[in-house]
Every structure is written in C-alpha cells, then in structure tokens.
Amino acid sequence: MLSRRKKRRTAKTSGAMRLRVRLPVVKKVSLFEGLSGKELRQIAGLVNELEVPAGTRLATAGEPGGEFFAIVKGEAGVTTRSGRTAVLRAGDSFGEMSLIDGQPRSATVQANTPMRLLVLDQRDFRRLAGRTTSIALKIMQTLSRRLRAAEGDVVPE
C-alpha cells in the first residue's frame, strides 16, 4: 500500500501528466483562442476527455443539460426543434445555451462519426465564462450568428 506522502506525490504527478496531455487538446478549441498560457492551463485542469462512437446522442432537445462540449476530433449533427440542421467539427463547441439560461436543450446533437470531446460541467463552465471576458464575448458572437441565421439574415462564415 502507498504511504500517504507517496500517494500525495503520485496524485500530483498524474495531475501534471494529465495537464500535459490535455493542454495541446484545449489549445485546438476555437472558443479558447487568444487565451493566455495560464488560462489554458486552468481550463486543461477543469475539463474531462470523452471518446464516443458514431451515433451517440450528446444532447437531446427538450431535455435538461448539464455539460458543455468542445469537439477535438470528429463531427456532430445538430437538429433544432424547428428542424434546422447544422454540422459541428473540430474546434467547434456546443451545449452552452442550457448552461447559460437553465432551459432544456434547444437542439439534439448526435455524433456523425467517432468523436473525441472535452467536457465541462455547468459550474466550471459558468465560472470560466464569468471570469474570462474573451470567452463570454465569443459565446455571444456565436449566439448572435445563430440568431441571425434563424432570422434568415445572410451570415458570412
């Protein structure tokens, strides 16, 4: 059995290793672009990685949502309640709407291919968005773009 001191050291080491593995992954998410090295390391310490096979439902329209997702690899299909569809790819993120307003998921999101994702729970997402102005601004830009698209405006990519 490990001594308490050794256990503490092992936990620290594996935390540092996890950070080293996750940091390059976190850097690929467009929402986190422009953040400082310190901020990126903080995020890498908060997220969990998730691998899912094609066909996995990650969010279901009308149901409560508790997580925010950022896509590292693969592709997801979005179908809103009004039938609008969109495709999300590496660097894109989703699931922020329910976490912001506490309402049920606005759309169903399903993996079109095997996917690798980063997952943040509601509390960490809110803390991060509240603390990091550039993330909050990017979320607002994404929501504005979606609103314009839903209203039929021409939206440049």
Spatial CB neighbours of 114, under 8 Å, sequence gap ≥ 6 = 51, 52, 53, 54, 73, 74
Q: Which of the stretches 11-19, 77-85, 113-121, 122-130 binds ligand CMP when contact is defined by CB under 6 A? A: 77-85
What single-letter DSSP state applies at residue 105? P
Nearest distance from C-beta of residue 19 to ligand CMP, angstroms: 26
Nearest distance from C-beta of residue 65 to ligand CMP, angstroms: 5
| Residue 120, SS3 per DSSP | strand
Nearest distance from C-beta of residue 38 to ligand CMP, angstroms: 27
* Alpha-carbon span 149 to 46, nearest angstrom: 32
**Binding letters toward ligand CMP, positions 89-128, x by CB under 6 A:** -----xxxxx------xxx-x-------------------
Asked if 78 interacts with ligand CMP (CB under 6 A), we say yes
Nearest distance from C-beta of residue 148 to ligand CMP, angstroms: 10
Asked if 42 interacts with ligand CMP (CB under 6 A), we say no
Q: Which of the stretches 6-14, 78-86, 116-124, 127-135 binds ligand CMP when contact is defined by CB under 6 A? A: 78-86
Q: How many residues bind ligand CMP (CB under 6 A)?
A: 16
Give me the DSSP letters along 70-88.
EEEES-EEEEETTS-EEEE
Q: Which two tokens stand for residue 83?
A: 């039938």
Asked if 22 interacts with ligand CMP (CB under 6 A), we say no
Strands (E) across the chain are located at 48-52, 57-59, 67-73, 76-80, 85-88, 93-94, 107-111, 115-121
Contact criterion met (CB below 8 Å) for 127 and 45: no
**Which residues of this chain interact with ligand CMP, rule CB under 6 A?**
59, 65, 78, 80, 84, 86, 94-98, 105-107, 109, 146
